[in-house]
């Protein structure tokens, strides 16, 4: 059998393109902002993870330019060898201080960060308990670790404890959860998770990619929000969202960070963060520390939009993060709605299985601290018109799967 037979037979994307409802790979002709130029026309951007609005901040942009001039375009090696810059060390120290942790290690991407942490810290004699709605990178990290993995029902603490009770005492246990779930916009039940971890001798890791810069009085994330910073053993985060760059990090006790540094294959065998990425993340972190009111602004604009959508009878899911999912349920309906919204000047994200369960498709909208109420009203009015007057009369598309 030809290995590429599956490629020849794959036509899902082609079908959607032929139907005119293919929703992916739209290209930007301007920087990430609350309003962007995309494929030749103005679009209100409510499909970005630029939570604090820092991607175009002059200080962040200048930091990247200065790093290019001083260090060049790349490091040409891994952190283990020639790829460590003073910028990396400074960023790690600043992050550790900000997060109230002993040490930090940085990775090239957020996805790589979860692979690198989990595959190093858990092994064949260990057990990982994983929320069913965790990010794909967590699941891949679990597979790479060779540890036994059990999935517990989403935010179901009774199911988590049922699994914990069945783990032999000679096994190391890691509970891994998103802090903020990227599709639903809900928070993990961290107080209950911490209590169960203490009861059964487990360690706790939070993927706070969507929590950093979003929750907590100072933007330190989910653990700060719940007042449990000392009770979370490992905090994972990314630079590609609130910190307006690219990369990821792990924050933990120094001994844990040192172990991962010397045992994580994704870390050891990958080139380090580029100088510009490290410099931009560091500049964004300094702005967050200096301007914690951005976190408050983000919450206020998200609440404003949530109320605007509710008042227009848009079928949104309950969420507490700057992520507001709109229920569409059907894949074709989701694709069609996203196409029409894009054509009318609103960019949103279609989410179908496997990113959400089959039959639970959503339009994922997300918000930025620098959005204005006028932009939110304009977007909400367009969404209402599409849901009230366009979707009820949408074409009867064939199943594209």
Active site (catalytic) residues? 182, 210, 241
Report the DSSP pairing between strands 126-131 and 148-152: parallel
Return the bridge partners of 152, or none: 131
State the residue for tokens 């709109």: 326
Say if CB 177 and CB 142 are below 8 A apart.
no
Say if CB 245 and CB 109 are below 8 A apart.
no
Strands, sheet with 172-178, edge to edge from the N-terminal-most edge strand: 103-107, 248-252, 234-238, 203-207, 172-178, 126-131, 148-152
Q: Measuring CA to CA, which residue among 50, 362, 12 is closest to residue 184?
A: 362
Report the DSSP pairing between strands 148-152 and 172-178: unpaired
Q: How many angstroms separate the Cα of 292 from the Cα of each of 83, 125, 141, 161?
A: 32, 42, 32, 36
């Amino acid at each position: 059998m030809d290995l590429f037979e599956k490629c020849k037979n794959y036509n899902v994307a082609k079908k959607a393109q032929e139907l005119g409802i293919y929703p992916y790979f739209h290209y930007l002709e301007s920087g990430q902002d609350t309003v962007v130029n995309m494929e030749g026309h103005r679009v209100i951007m409510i499909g970005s993870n630029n939570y604090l609005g820092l991607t175009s901040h002059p200080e962040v942009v200048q930091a990247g330019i200065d790093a290019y001039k001083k260090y060049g375009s790349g490091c040409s090696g891994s952190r283990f060898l020639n790829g460590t810059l003073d910028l990396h060390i400074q960023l790690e120290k600043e992050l550790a201080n900000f997060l109230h942790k002993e040490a930090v290690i940085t990775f090239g991407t957020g996805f790589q960060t979860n692979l690198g942490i989990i595959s190093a810290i858990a092994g064949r004699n260990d057990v990982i308990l994983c929320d069913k709605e965790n990010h794909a990178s967590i699941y891949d990290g679990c597979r790479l670790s060779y540890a036994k993995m059990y999935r517990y029902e989403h935010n179901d603490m009774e199911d988590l404890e049922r699994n914990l009770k069945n783990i032999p005492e000679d096994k190391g246990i890691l509970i891994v959860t998103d802090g903020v779930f990227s599709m639903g916009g809900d928070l993990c039940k961290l107080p209950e998770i911490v209590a169960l971890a203490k009861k059964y001798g487990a360690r706790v890791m939070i993927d706070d990619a969507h929590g950093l810069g979003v929750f907590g009085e100072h933007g330190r994330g989910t653990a700060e929000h719940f007042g449990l910073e000392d009770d979370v053993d490992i905090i994972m985060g990314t630079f590609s969202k609130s910190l307006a760059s690219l990369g990821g990090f792990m924050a933990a006790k120094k001994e844990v960070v040192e172990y991962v540094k010397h045992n994580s294959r994704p870390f050891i065998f990958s080139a380090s963060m580029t100088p510009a990425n490290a410099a931009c993340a560091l500049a964004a972190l300094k702005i967050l520390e200096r301007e914690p009111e951005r976190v408050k602004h983000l919450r206020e604009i998200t609440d404003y939009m949530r109320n605007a959508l509710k008042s227009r009878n848009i079928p949104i899911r309950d969420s507490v993060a700057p992520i507001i999912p709109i229920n569409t349920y059907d894949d074709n309906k989701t694709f069609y709605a996203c196409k029409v919204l894009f054509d009318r000047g609103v960019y949103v994200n279609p989410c179908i299985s496997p990113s959400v369960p089959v039959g639970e498709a959503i339009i994922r909208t997300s918000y930025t601290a620098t959005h204005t109420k006028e932009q939110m009203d304009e977007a909400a009015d367009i969404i209402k018109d599409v849901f009230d007057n366009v979707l009820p009369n949408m074409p009867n598309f064939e199943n594209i799967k």
